[in-house]
Amino acid sequence: MDKQEAKALVRKYNQGLATVEEKAQLENWYAQKADQLVLLEHEINFDQIEAELKNRVLSHAGLAEQEYMPKRVKLWPRIAAAAAIMLIVGGGLFYYASQSNGLQTSLSLTKGQDIAPGSNKAVLTLGNGQTIVLTNAKNGELATENSAVIRKTAEGELVYQGTATAASTTYNTITTPRGGQYTITLSEGTKVVLNAASSLKYPTAFNGKDRTVELVGEGYFEVAHNKAKPFRVISKGQTVEVLGTHFNINSYADEPDVKTTLLEGSVNVNGQMLKPNQQAILTDHSRINIVNVNADEAVAWKDGLFRFDHTDLKTLMRQIARWYDVEVVYEGTIKEEQFFGKIERSYTLSEVLKLLEMNKIHVKLEGKKILVSP
């Protein structure tokens, strides 16, 4: 395949128009070229490679300009280059490789040891303390609180209908376990998708001057527009205020920063305004930094993907641990490397671990514990 053919195929691939055969052709071409891309112990321009990988285009293959200022780090050695491309390209190449060549790694599993991916799981706690396991609950009406009817839909989502009439406010809490996620529509129409190991506390109806909820963990919000009643999300040292927009908040206790990413509209984070494709990063020192990002990457989880962009190994493994409900233990000194790409969240844990092993990440599964070694 020459340069012009490769450019045309890359364009179709990135637009989602490539056929299965064209995807396989392009991805196989990457794997063949990988041998020329990275040399053992050679330093390369990291910023340049980062930009190239985001576009699935490698300048050493003759498809991009070298325009970036150097920030030198060592990339994977030659032996891992083809595997690195798999992680960069994502699910399509993993599928192609596993179907055509098999996944040859040192990872071994005993029968029945594999772990399924997470799914729709949550527990609803009502104002009187009663709990409802939504995973097993039947579709239809689950409860009524303050005249608000709580239903579980055929799609497995929680929906509040009606408005409260009582003077007092009743709060409910929905909690997802590790290995679970859930979608809820609040009484005024706002839709929230909770990631694994998260919770949302909210009133059954919003009678006051604002609409305030409390988030622990990660949630994606599609806020119903109401100019008269601002929507506020309180989470781990910050308050996000909007009138109606789409945004994501990652506020896990085991993450070093709280990240609020805006997809459309505008939000106010502790007094600072965000524009679409911007992210507010709240550090441990209560300082907020605003950076430009690809907002779609921050919400890939709700669309069934792990997406990695400049992601270090421990951050990557925390995402995997929450989704598969496992513990990660590190043995020895772990290299400071960063990863780019995507993996489908529908894969079993063994499939994910095999893909990581092909990228020179040494892992071993013992029960519900992943051992990571140099």
- Taking the C-alpha atoms of residue 103 and residue 108, their distance in angstroms, rounded to an integer, is 11
Structure token pair of residue 133? 């396991």
Helices 91-100, 349-357: axis angle to 10 degrees equals 90
Domain 119-298 CATH assignment equals 2.60.40.420:
no
The CATH code belonging to domain 304-373 is: 3.55.50.30
- Taking the C-alpha atoms of residue 40 and residue 85, their distance in angstroms, rounded to an integer, is 16
pLDDT score recorded for residue 48: 44
Q: What is the CA radius of gyration of the chain?
A: 23
Q: pLDDT 10s digit of each residue in the chain, 374 long? A: 665 676 677 777 766 777 766 766 666 655 454 433 332 223 334 344 444 444 443 443 344 433 333 332 222 332 233 333 334 433 333 333 333 334 444 455 544 578 999 999 999 999 999 999 999 999 999 999 888 899 999 999 999 997 655 567 899 999 999 999 999 999 999 999 999 999 999 999 898 889 999 999 999 999 999 999 999 999 999 999 998 899 999 999 999 999 999 999 999 999 999 999 999 999 887 899 999 998 988 999 999 999 887 788 899 999 999 999 999 999 988 877 777 777 889 999 998 888 888 777 889 999 999 999 98
* C-beta separation of 158 from 132 below 8 A: no
308 by DSSP, 3-state: which?
strand
- List, in sequence order, every beta strand (DSSP E) within 223-352: 231-235, 238-242, 246-251, 258-264, 267-269, 272-274, 278-282, 288-292, 305-312, 327-330, 338-344
| 118 contacts: CB under 8 Å, gap ≥ 6 | 178, 179, 180, 181, 196, 323, 324, 325, 345
pLDDT score recorded for residue 76: 31
Q: Using CA atoms in the order 203, 206, 210, 213, what is the torsion angle rounded to 10 degrees?
A: 20
Q: Using CA atoms in the order 110, 352, 219, 245, what is the torsion angle rounded to 10 degrees?
A: -150
pLDDT score recorded for residue 273: 95
The residue with tokens 């779609």 is: 296
* C-beta separation of 47 from 67 below 8 A: no
| 217 contacts: CB under 8 Å, gap ≥ 6 | 176, 194, 195, 196, 197, 198, 199, 251, 252
Chain centroid offset of residue 58 CA: 25
Q: Where are the domains of the chain?
A: 3-100, 119-298, 304-373
pLDDT score recorded for residue 28: 60
pLDDT score recorded for residue 45: 42
Q: In sequence order, what DSSP letters do the residues of 327-348 get, joined into one string? A: EEEE-SPPP--EEEEEEETTS-
